[in-house]
Structure 1
Amino acid sequence: MRDIVIIGSGPAGYTAAIYAARAGLKPVVLASSVEAGGDLMNTTEVENFPGFPEGVMGPDLMSKLQEQAEKFGAEVILDDVTSVDLTGDVKHVETGYSGSYDSRSLIFATGSAYRKLGLPDEERLSGRGVSWCATCDGFFFKGKTIAVVGGGDSAMEEATFLTRFAEKVYVVHRKDSLRASKIMQERAMTNEKIEFVWNSEVTGITGENAVEALTLRDTITGETRELPVQGLFVAIGNDPRVHLVHGQLDLTADGTIAVEGRSSKTNLRGVFAAGDVIDPSYRQAVTAAASGTVAALDAEHYLAALDQIEVEKAAGIPLEAEQLVSAE
């Protein structure tokens, strides 16, 4: 029986593991077999994480967080969770390869997944010009003309990064203004390789064996036109990874796991959530890390209350109502 199992290994998961491990709870982190480290593994330079005035590469930051968690005794397992049973006091987790885990508490730090355009040819041309990760695939577009779809920080970061390889980068946005931070907008707008295509949305992708052009629809006039490109990078946001908890945990209107106030407590005892899977608004590495801290402390207090109840039960001491509440 484990004290804490943490599902997910982004800033929230690893930070929760650091705090839980330092509390002597020997957490197990189920980090995924292919996405260990979360979205920051696909990020270039991170300039806004405290303590790195010169910036830090996303994979380097996640490697350091993992190393720190393991230093204090966390066990990181590169495996994928296939199902969970959260109904009882013992939480049951099934994985693809390493077997099952029973735990007294569980922290969901499953983050979010890249949002897709939903076009018929998007999946067909995935890996043949369509991508959701500039750092993964940018090198393959050396000297080519490509497009980035989106208007937030991620889209600006992708577009700016891709100018290292591409001859031309179009940024396609369905409005006439960006939602990205001012500094990210300025970088993209002053880059001579980047051209903005305003009030436009991608409605089609053309190409037999590779991307050859995009069909754009003007969001004001409705007119369509072709934009010749050899690559399409989709950066339109993310959706929380909540597929494991449907029917078990309450969700918000945004599709994130619902938690109690500023805590990490879900609607089930002993189940906590942290990071982007509960945050539809800020979605920053530092806020995810802080959220992981909250989840670990909430879980630690929950387990301490359970232990106290067991001690007093064994001693025949009547339980106070406050004790029962503290373990909820």
Structure 2
Amino acid sequence: MHNVVILGSGCAGNTAAIYTARAGLKPLVLMGREPGGQLSITSEVENFPGFPEGIMGPQLVENMKLQAERFGAEFRHGTVIESDLSKRPFRLNVDGEWIETATLIVATGASARWLGIPGEQHLIGKGVSSCATCDGFFYRNLKIMVVGGGDSALEEANFLTRFSNVMLVHRREQFRGSKIMIERVAANPKVQMVMNTVVDEVVANATGVVGAAKLRNLVTGEVTHQEVDGFFVAIGHIPNTKPFIGQLDLDEEGYILSHGGARTNIPGVFHAGDVQDRQYRQAITASGAGCMAAIEAERFLEAEGH
């Protein structure tokens, strides 16, 4: 029986672990399918306060983990495949083993949707990215391509024109984003729109980083190779909330709905990070959310006399 179980070991989960461990709650952190979260596939992080020279993403989350362990947090490899939040203690099925906890912090994050094409996964962090605000700076005055047709892609394309010209590739004749975002991109002279086109492959150059993209026009069938340095996939994210469907209040895309602060609709269950935040999705906002969830959990237990 645990005081608090934290699901996820990215910035949100690790920060929650630091705070709950310092409060003497001996948290158990289940590291999930992607230990370290999105930062584990990010190269250099230059916008996290306190690191004037920047820090590698995996190192940042590892530092947080070590900090939490110093205060008594326990980290365990494991993924929740089923949950029972109908009564307390809450029950979690971790890879076939049921565990119980008085409180729960869900910091399972949201996984980027990928195209599933050759070269893509191998080149993540080597020119392939799913976060323009994280990585756009590295491609100043270089060749940038964005793939997608919704608001995410339109927003990322617009943002990336701060650094360079952008080629926006979409498989349909028309974008499916909001009218205002479409108009904004259409009015931006630094965005070149390539419609009715898919990317079949991301190709590495001689140094092992992104060098080109293989494009195929769906109308003519023409295949072209486009030189590119930064390849941004912007086709949305999938919140990792599957074990909580029908129990936690979720929106139509599966993100946890907040009931004030870090609270969910179930007392004693709290949310943190990208599993609830579809707007900012930054390391620093995830850490802030982890802090909030930890304080809420601590106060919840304190009110019960723990």
Quick check: TM above 0.5? yes
The 5 A counterparts of 1:97-246 are: 99-117=97-115, 122=116, 125=117, 128-131=118-121, 134-135=124-125, 138=126, 152-153=132-133, 156=136, 160=139, 170-172=145-147, 174=149, 179-180=155-156, 185-189=161-165, 198-201=192-195, 203-206=197-200, 213-216=214-217, 225-228=222-225, 235-236=233-234, 237-246=236-245
Q: Given residue 288 of structure 1, which amino acid in structure 2 is its aligned partner?
A: A
Q: Which is higher, the Rg of structure 1 or of structure 2? A: 1
Q: Distance in 2 between matches of 1:87 and 1:76?
A: 26
Which is worse superposed, 179-188 or 23-32? 179-188
The match for 2:38 is: 39
Relative to structure 1, the CA distance from residue 212 to residue 184 in structure 2 (aligned partners, 3 Å threshold; closer, same or farther) is closer
Q: Given residue 52 of structure 1, which amino acid in structure 2 is its aligned partner?
A: F
Aligned residues: percent identity?
A: 38
Relative to structure 1, the CA distance from residue 150 to residue 284 in structure 2 (aligned partners, 3 Å threshold; closer, same or farther) is closer
Give 2:293's match in structure 1, choosing from 266, 289, 295: 295
Q: Distance in 2 between matches of 1:76 and 1:151?
A: 27
- TM-score computed with the length of structure 1 as normaliser: 0.70
Encode CA deviations 1:129-170: one digit per residue, 9 max, x unaligned. Answer: 2338522xx3xxxxxxx9x6979435736x839x7xxxx764
User: For this pair of structures, how many residues does the alignment match?
Assistant: 269
Relative to structure 1, the CA distance from residue 286 to residue 296 in structure 2 (aligned partners, 3 Å threshold; closer, same or farther) is same
The match for 2:17 is: 17
Instruction: List alignment gaps of at least 5 residues for structure 1.
Output: 139-145, 191-195, 309-328
Give the Å deviation of 1:45: 1.2
- Is 1:278 the counterpart of 2:254? The answer is no
- TM-score computed with the length of structure 2 as normaliser: 0.75
8 Å contact kept, 1:30–1:76: yes
Q: Given residue 121 of structure 2, which amino acid in structure 1 is its aligned partner?
A: S
Relative to structure 1, the CA distance from residue 182 to residue 114 in structure 2 (aligned partners, 3 Å threshold; closer, same or farther) is closer
Relative to structure 1, the CA distance from residue 301 to residue 171 in structure 2 (aligned partners, 3 Å threshold; closer, same or farther) is closer
The match for 1:52 is: 51
Indicate the SS of the match to 2:246: coil
8 Å contact kept, 1:42–1:133: no
Q: Distance in 1 between matches of 2:223 and 2:19?
A: 52
The match for 1:70 is: 69
Instruction: List alignment gaps of at least 5 residues for structure 2.
Output: 167-189, 205-211
Q: Distance in 1 between matches of 2:49 and 2:237?
A: 24
Relative to structure 1, the CA distance from residue 248 to residue 206 in structure 2 (aligned partners, 3 Å threshold; closer, same or farther) is same
- Root mean square deviation of aligned Cα: 3.5
Q: Distance in 1 between matches of 2:157 and 2:224?
A: 27
Give the Å deviation of 1:239: 2.3
Give the Å deviation of 1:181: 9.5
